[in-house]
Amino acid sequence: MSAQRERMIGARKSGDVARLADAIPYAKWMRIAPENGTGELLTRMRYHEQLIGNTFLPAIHGGTLGAMLEMAAIFHLLWETETETVPKIVNITVDYLRSAGPRDVIAAAKVTKQGRRMVNVFAEAWQDDRSKPVATANAHFLVKSADEPPAL
Amino acid sequence: MDDAGQLELFQQWFSDSIPHNKALGLKVVAVRKGFASMRLEWREELVGDPETGVLAGGPLTAMLDSCCGMSVATMLKEPKPFATLDLRIDYARPATPGKAVIAEAECYRITRSVAFTRAFAHHGDAKDPIAAAAGTFMLGTKGEVTRAQSIGEEAIGSETKI
């Protein structure tokens, strides 16, 4: 059993969703982690100065918003679906709707279509007001369920 | 301005003074009118899958966004604030652990309101891409023009130099 799969099962059993991010160096470096305090799986990117892309406004770098939307989609798939391996991203389209200020960013994801191998996920990110998203994304992931052969 | 001077100017304003680009350690490796190239060194902090050492998608997204943005800056005839409108990334194959990634972006069309860009990320062979990107940018967005957004004309000049 891979360490990642063990962690996933451990996180599911304990209900401690934050453990999903523990083993991902990039998530730690970016301070991106899932949380489920409200009963809904959300992903939070904690504000720190290294996220800034425009010091004049100031605004968070668009690349980091794309990155956290991608992570939000991955955490959602790991938590809410039966996938037992880290989903492989095929592509992502990010729409930038508003500039994001120097504060935490929160994201939620949902599966638009679950196929046997391919999943289409929608994710949106906001700051103070969920009805005013700063960015949204659509992404495709290859997933495999436990009963399928490992080769994709 | 000579090539070394241009590189230094773009390095300063598109990486060293943009906190996230500086944190990633983005290095500007080439710039000319309508074209920008950057380099990202592999490092452990940027890994998405600790079992393989493959980079996460995020650092590539941020680099491709910045590189596309820099290609837009080279096309501006006058300083103008601009922002990414949308960015699509196709992940053609995983990045090889330990290897630096090169991004090359082209701004192939610019209008009064929108700039269109394409980019590839690879390990040195553009024919073997890790990711392909298409980004559009909104020009004349609110806020002050940043230094990065205003150096195109100064560094590249309004004459085509390819």
Which of A29, A32, A78, A142 is most worth mutating to test chain B (most B CB atoms within 10 A of its CB)?
A29
Domain that holds residue A13: 3-142
Q: How confident is the model at residue B161 (pLDDT cuts 50, 70, 90)?
A: very low
pLDDT in tens, B106-125: 999 999 999 999 999 999 99
pTM, 2 dp: 0.91
Q: Which residues of A100-132 are buried (b: 16+ CB within 10 A; e: fewer)?
A: beeeebbbbbeeeeeeeeebebbbbbbbeeeee
Quick one: which H or E segment has residue A7?
helix A3-14
Residue-averaged pLDDT of chain B: 91
B79 close contact with A: CB closer than 8 A: no
pLDDT at A2 over 70: no
d(CA B155, CA A39): 53
Write out the E strands in A7-116. 32-35, 42-45, 52-54, 59-60, 88-96, 105-114
Residue-averaged pLDDT of chain A: 89
pLDDT of A11: 74
pLDDT of A148: 53
- Interface confidence (ipTM) of the complex: 0.91
Residue B161 lies in a domain: no
Domain that holds residue B142: 3-156
pLDDT of B128: 96
Q: Could you tell me the CATH number of the domain that includes residue B107?
A: 3.10.129.10
pLDDT of A149: 52
Quick one: which H or E segment has residue B130?
none
d(CA B51, CA B41): 19
Q: Could you tell me the CATH number of the domain that includes residue A60?
A: 3.10.129.10
d(CA A133, CA A144): 31
Which chain B residues have a beta carbon less than 8 Å from that of A61? 18-21, 62, 65-66
Total number of domains constituting chain A: 1
pLDDT at A141 over 70: yes
